Amino acid sequence: MRHPADISGESRRLDALAPKLMGMAGGVGLLGLIISVALAFMTEDGVRRAYHAYMVNFCYFLSISLGGLFFTLIQHLSRAGWSVVVRRLSEAVGANTLVMLVLFIPILLGMHHLFPWTSAELLQNDPVLQWKQPYLNAPFFLIRCAVYFGVWCGLSYFLLKRSLDQDASRDPKITLSMERMSAPGLIAFAITLTFASFDFLMSRDYHWFSTIFGVYFFAGSFLSFMAILPVILLFLKSNGRLRHAVSAEHYHDIGKLLFAMNVFWAYIAFSQFMLIWYANLPEETGWYHRRITGDWLNLSYALLFGHFIIPFLGLIGRVSKRRLRLLTPWAVWVLAMHWLDLYWLAMPEYWLRVEGAPVGTIPFSLLDLSTFLGIGGIWVAVLALWLRDHSLIPEGDPRLAESLAFENA
Amino acid sequence: MHDHTAKPQTKAEPSTRVFAVLAEFPSGDEMLEAARKVRDAGYTKWDTHSPYPVHGIDEAMGIRRTILPTIVFVCGLTGALTGLALQWWTSSVYYPVIVSGKPMFSLPANIPIIFELTVLFSAFGAVFGMFALNGLPSLYHGIFNSGRFNSRMSTDRFYISIEAADPKFNRDSARKLLESIGGQSVEVVEERAAVEFPPMLRKWGITALLVLGAFALLPPLYTLRARTRTSEVTRMQLIWDMDQQPRFRAQMKNPLFADGRAMRPQVPGTVARGEAFADDHLHRGLVDGRFAATNALPVTESLLQRGRKKFDIYCAQCHGLDGLGQGMISVRAERLQEGTWVPPLSLHDEVVRTREDGHIFNTITNGIRTMPPYGDQIRVEDRWAIVAYVRALQRSQNATLEDVPSDRRGELP
């Protein structure tokens, strides 16, 4: 058995890094949002376009946050020892669902741009929409969103708060209370994430339906968290934080989960595609048809190779998982592909039901970048805020020693 | 042999040899420490034994990383390629069948099988590769000759054994090393020089095998008996639903439908695959409602050859190989003085020569006077090939000097 890593002399706090990070990321975020607003009002059809870009990036950072929440929950549920040293990071990422709640407000304001089912005119002429109206209506949508964010924010704040309490009190009972919460918490998480993905992304083409869609969004969500974890770790390490606490053994397991989730994403993506392709029913194929028309086909192939085959070969080896400087580039690659995946999920419907739309073209815009920087900057700043006055690892966790001595057999 | 004096000889102590030197350790940590020292002493054939997996033992024993992942990867790749090749060959080469209107070879449909075979081959590679690398199955291991080892190894003690097969092995130095690194109750384990089958197993094992073998013969014998006899009893139906499926056979009544027919008529307007006949020129020989003047297919040498072949098969019986109307059937019918026989028109007759290609095509397809229609027998492309060949025949009988290439006119008599 490896002896627990000696962390007595190392820096486990952000300290001076926190205000610097908050200032820089927050500045980039605000600037990004201001530029987005300016672009939205300056370009043709800019407001609608801006809302679409905002939606893609909102879902992107929401999925990472939910991935962090899921990671924390599953570690508690399985009473995992290995992951304790990175759990504070997942708790903080999960708690970012709180900032996503604030960032959700613009989407509520722009609902009529993003969700065609809010249109009274369409409702009158579309029997399919009339049939779905008991579910797809604005008041019920708002109630559902309140439930989603209630569950996410409640769970993630509880897990972060209790864990921070434990830093001071070192009370193992706190661990038990978090473990007890994780089982019902995961059930609530699964239900809310599934319906949120239906509401935010699938309902954009309200004619279309796919029961596996929630699992697809979940796969991307957990994958993106496993990808952002090495990035955060490399940032902390190169700034002299957590030098010894997190070792190659931990990267190895993070890399394994990253690899596994990447394969899982491909499995789910293909499962959804194959059933629809094989049955060939018009009400289901329309959604895919948009994604294989014109330039979108290239993007679909880019996902097939870039999101699955290339990282599959890159991450299958042992070395690329155990060296942070090899793992992180792959993690960044996966993060980029996850962004492309969400773009692919949300953006083709931009042309849907638009008279004379250039079908098959990809409406890339500067707004995609500016909203990314806007939401991303604020997201990083809030992440630093959670960690500002606290340790980067759960100091009081009874399994900390086990995690510090962790070794892949 | 029933010689009583022989008995003591068989009971005599069999000759033994040293298998290994064995040392006991009270904890996993101590064993781990000791293992590092045995490793550093340069032994190669030695082993550690523990009731549970001990972290770090690979490093302490100096075991190289296993090649099992590589074996699994290669097996998985083989599985993927096998799945791909199997489906490609069966579904698009050996027995091509259209399923759900998908292409014969379509990757999306093949992925599940490729995936399953990848997993299956990988699992085989992992399990059997692990067996092979560990030298399993092994029915005998010398270490079990130690009584102390047998009684405590799987409960609360840890052991290190240095085997006699090690090139560096020396009974005394191995013993000394193990004692110096904290080994307790160091013992020399001896095994029988000749490995014997335990008499208990030999006696009962062979009996059990014979009984099992006899039972195993019963089902094939029963099958054989059933196959060579007749019986008036209805055959046993294990899965009744499958043998007696409720279904409507041809010509039966079906009260589900208003007309009471089980055989459903085609929906009006149904067109079978490949029978849309959308091209008027190709399928009817018509252009703008009139007979087409030209062949619907480009006239090439291969089309003419094809037309000649089909003409000789379908047309020459009456029209003759040369098209003059002196085919075997016609000749014979005239010889028999058949009153109803109308001899075929010579294809070189002015009437036929001036007919449009589409008209001749129409005649082949639908027949004329006593000539039966050939539309159901000859494929549409072949009918056009025959038209082209008929044109060639007509030209051969009415050729002018201009039809001969200028450089070869000198060869004419």
Q: Where are the beta strands (DSSP E) in B155-219?
A: 158-163, 184-192
Q: What is the pLDDT of residues A264-276, one digit of tens each?
A: 999 999 999 999 9
pLDDT at A226: 97
User: Which residues of chain A does B54 touch, with a Cβ-Cβ cutoff of 8 Å?
Assistant: 1
Other C-beta atoms lying within 10 Å of the C-beta of residue B75: 20
Name the 3-class secondary structure at B59: helix
Per-residue tokens: A222: 């957990």
The alpha carbon of residue B55 is apart from the nearest alpha carbon of chain A, in Å, by 5
User: Which residues of chain A does B32 touch, with a Cβ-Cβ cutoff of 8 Å?
Assistant: 1
Q: Tell me which of A43-47, A292-296, A368-372, B38-42 is least confident.
A: A43-47
Q: What single-letter DSSP state applies at residue B404? A: S
* Dist CA A288 CA A274 (whole Å): 11
CA A358 → CA A261, A266, A363, distances in Å? Answer: 35, 30, 9
A111-A113-A117 Cα angle (round to 5) = 70
Q: Does A278 touch chain B (CB under 8 A)?
A: yes
The CATH number for B358's domain is 1.10.760.10
A280/B101 Cβ within 8 A: yes
Q: Which residue has the tokens 């392709």?
A: A277
Residues B248 and B262 sit within 8 Å (Cβ to Cβ): yes
Q: What is the pLDDT of residues A302-324, one digit of tens each?
A: 999 999 999 999 999 999 999 99
CA A89 → CA A72, A80, B39, B123, distances in Å? Answer: 9, 15, 41, 35
Burial bucket for residue B413 (CB in 10 Å: 0-12, 13-18, 19+): exposed
A2/B56 Cβ within 8 A: yes
Residues B190 and B317 in one domain: no
Q: What is the pLDDT of residues A74-102, one digit of tens each?
A: 999 999 999 999 999 999 999 999 999 99
Per-residue tokens: B165: 């097969």
B55/A2 Cβ within 8 A: yes
Q: Does A357 touch chain B (CB under 8 A)?
A: no
Of A375, A392, A301, A54, residue with least CA distance to A200 = A54
pLDDT at A2: 66
Q: Does A270 touch chain B (CB under 8 A)?
A: yes
Nearest residue in chain A measured CA to CA from B69: A317
Per-residue tokens: B83: 């799945």
What residues are paired with B22 via a beta bridge? Answer: B161, B187
Number of alpha carbons in the 13 Å side-chain half-sphere of residue A331: 30
Other C-beta atoms lying within 10 Å of the C-beta of residue B373: 14
Q: What DSSP letter does each residue of B271-301 carry, written as one string? A: --TT-----HHHHH-EETTEE-SS-SS---H
Q: What single-letter DSSP state applies at residue B25? A: E
Q: Does A312 touch chain B (CB under 8 A)?
A: no
Which of B27, B36, B55, B114 should be substituted to probe chain A, the one whose Cβ sees the most A Cβ atoms within 10 Å? Answer: B55
Q: Return all residues near B29 (Cβ < 8 A) that are at least 6 apart.
A: A1
Percent above pLDDT 70 for chain B: 95
* Dist CA A186 CA A73 (whole Å): 7
Q: Does B100 touch chain A (CB under 8 A)?
A: yes
Number of alpha carbons in the 13 Å side-chain half-sphere of residue B297: 20
What residues are paired with A258 via a beta bridge? Answer: none
Q: Does A281 touch chain B (CB under 8 A)?
A: no
CA B409 → CA B284, B376, B397, B404, distances in Å? Answer: 40, 43, 17, 6
A255-A256-A258 Cα angle (round to 5) = 60
* Dist CA A229 CA A94 (whole Å): 12
Of A393, A378, A305, A384, residue with least CA distance to A32 = A378
Q: Which of B73, B102, B111 sits opposite A270 (nearest CB)?
A: B111
* Dist CA A394 CA A92 (whole Å): 11
A318/B100 Cβ within 8 A: no
User: Which residues of chain B does A273 touch, with a Cβ-Cβ cutoff of 8 Å?
Assistant: 108
B108/A273 Cβ within 8 A: yes
Q: What is the pLDDT of residues B356-374, one digit of tens each?
A: 889 999 999 998 888 889 9
Amino acid at B108: P
Q: Which residue has the tokens 């990757």?
A: B107
Q: Does B53 touch chain A (CB under 8 A)?
A: yes
Which of A263, A272, A278 should be substituted to probe chain B, the one whose Cβ sees the most B Cβ atoms within 10 Å? Answer: A278
Size of interface A-B (CB pairs under 8 A): 28
Q: Does B54 touch chain A (CB under 8 A)?
A: yes
Domain that holds residue B41: 15-194
Last residue of a domain, one of B160, B194, B228: B194
What residues are paired with B163 via a beta bridge? Answer: B20
Q: Does B260 touch chain A (CB under 8 A)?
A: no
Of A230, A404, A258, residue with least CA distance to A326 = A230
The alpha carbon of residue B71 is apart from the nearest alpha carbon of chain A, in Å, by 13
B29/A278 Cβ within 8 A: no
Of B291, B325, B302, residue with least CA distance to B389 = B302
* Dist CA B165 CA B149 (whole Å): 19
Percent above pLDDT 90 for chain A: 87
Question: What is chain B's pLDDT, residue by residue, as a tens digit (413 residues)?
Answer: 454 444 444 555 557 889 999 999 999 889 999 999 999 998 989 999 999 988 888 888 988 888 999 999 999 999 999 999 999 999 888 888 777 778 888 889 999 999 999 999 999 999 999 999 988 888 888 899 888 899 888 888 999 999 999 998 988 999 999 999 988 889 999 888 776 677 788 888 889 999 999 999 999 998 898 888 888 888 778 888 888 888 888 899 999 899 999 998 888 888 877 677 778 888 888 888 888 888 888 989 999 999 999 998 888 888 988 888 888 888 888 888 767 778 888 888 888 888 888 999 999 999 888 888 998 888 888 999 999 999 998 888 887 777 787 777 777 76
B69/A270 Cβ within 8 A: no
How far the first Cα of chain A sits from its last, in Å, is: 10
Q: Does B102 touch chain A (CB under 8 A)?
A: yes
* Dist CA B400 CA A306 (whole Å): 70
User: Which residues of chain B does A274 touch, with a Cβ-Cβ cutoff of 8 Å?
Assistant: 108-109, 111-112
**A 25-64 → B contacts, CB under 8 A:** none
B102/A278 Cβ within 8 A: yes
Residues B61 and B39 sit within 8 Å (Cβ to Cβ): yes
A274/B111 Cβ within 8 A: yes
Q: Which of A278, A316, A407 sits opposite B100 (nearest CB)?
A: A278
Q: Return all residues near A124 (Cβ < 8 A) that are at least 6 apart.
A: none
Q: Does A180 touch chain B (CB under 8 A)?
A: no
Per-residue tokens: B58: 């690979």
Name the 3-class secondary structure at B13: coil
Q: How high does pLDDT run on average in chain A?
A: 94
Reported as type and span, the H/E element at residue A219 is: helix A213-238
For the cut 70, the answer to whether the pLDDT of residue A409 exceeds it is no
Helix orientation angle between A17-42 and A46-77, rounded to the nearest 10 degrees: 150
User: Which residues of chain A does B29 touch, with a Cβ-Cβ cutoff of 8 Å?
Assistant: 1
Q: Which residue has the tokens 């293909």?
A: A270
Q: What DSSP letter does each residue of A272-313 carry, written as one string? A: HHHHHHHH--HHHHHHHHHHTSTHHHHHHHHHIIIIIIHHHH
What residues are paired with B291 via a beta bridge? Answer: B286
Residue B248 inside a domain? The answer is no
Residues B178 and B306 in one domain: no
Q: Does A318 touch chain B (CB under 8 A)?
A: yes
Name the 3-class secondary structure at A113: helix
**SS3 helix, strand, coil % of chain A, rounded to 5?**
75, 0, 20
User: Which residues of chain A does B101 touch, with a Cβ-Cβ cutoff of 8 Å?
Assistant: 280
Buried b (16+ CB within 10 A) or exposed e, A152-175: bbebbbbbbebbbebbeeeeeebb
B69/A318 Cβ within 8 A: yes
Amino acid at A89: L
A1/B56 Cβ within 8 A: yes
* Dist CA B316 CA A14 (whole Å): 98
Query: How many domains does chain B contain in total?
Result: 2
* Alpha carbon B138 to its chain's center: 34
Q: Does B198 touch chain A (CB under 8 A)?
A: no
Residues B57 and B181 in one domain: yes
User: Which residues of chain A does B56 touch, with a Cβ-Cβ cutoff of 8 Å?
Assistant: 1-2, 407
Of A346, A363, A290, A372, residue with least CA distance to A115 = A346
Last residue of a domain, one of B157, B177, B194: B194
Q: What is the mean pLDDT of residues A175-194?
A: 96
Asked whether the bond before B137 is cis by omega within 30 degrees of 0, the reply is yes
Last residue of a domain, one of B194, B214, B241: B194
User: Which residues of chain B does A256 touch, with a Cβ-Cβ cutoff of 8 Å?
Assistant: none
* Dist CA B76 CA B126 (whole Å): 10
Nearest residue in chain A measured CA to CA from B99: A278
pLDDT at A189: 97
CA A127 → CA A207, A211, B177, distances in Å? Answer: 10, 21, 87
Amino acid at A90: S
- Pinpoint the alpha helices (H) of B153-198: 171-180
* Alpha carbon A62 to its chain's center: 5
* Alpha carbon A356 to its chain's center: 34
pLDDT at B86: 95
* Dist CA A199 CA A409 (whole Å): 43
What residues are paired with B17 via a beta bridge? Answer: B191
Which of B111, B115, B116, B158 should be substituted to probe chain A, the one whose Cβ sees the most A Cβ atoms within 10 Å? Answer: B111
Q: What DSSP letter does each residue of A41-97 carry, written as one string? A: HHSTTHHHHHHHHHHHHHHHHHHHHHHHHHHHHHHHHTT-STTHHHHHHHHHHHHTH
**SS3 helix, strand, coil % of chain B, rounded to 5?**
50, 10, 40
Q: What DSSP letter does each residue of B68-79 carry, written as one string? A: HHHHHHHHHHHH
Q: Does A409 touch chain B (CB under 8 A)?
A: yes
Percent above pLDDT 70 for chain A: 99
The alpha carbon of residue B132 is apart from the nearest alpha carbon of chain A, in Å, by 21
Number of H helices, E strands in chain B: 16, 6
Q: What single-letter DSSP state applies at residue A11? A: B
Confidence of residue A158 (pLDDT cuts 50, 70, 90): very high
pLDDT at B7: 46
How far the first Cα of chain B sits from its last, in Å, is: 109
* Dist CA A180 CA B128 (whole Å): 41
Per-residue tokens: A197: 């993905």
B100/A1 Cβ within 8 A: no
What residues are paired with A7 via a beta bridge? Answer: none
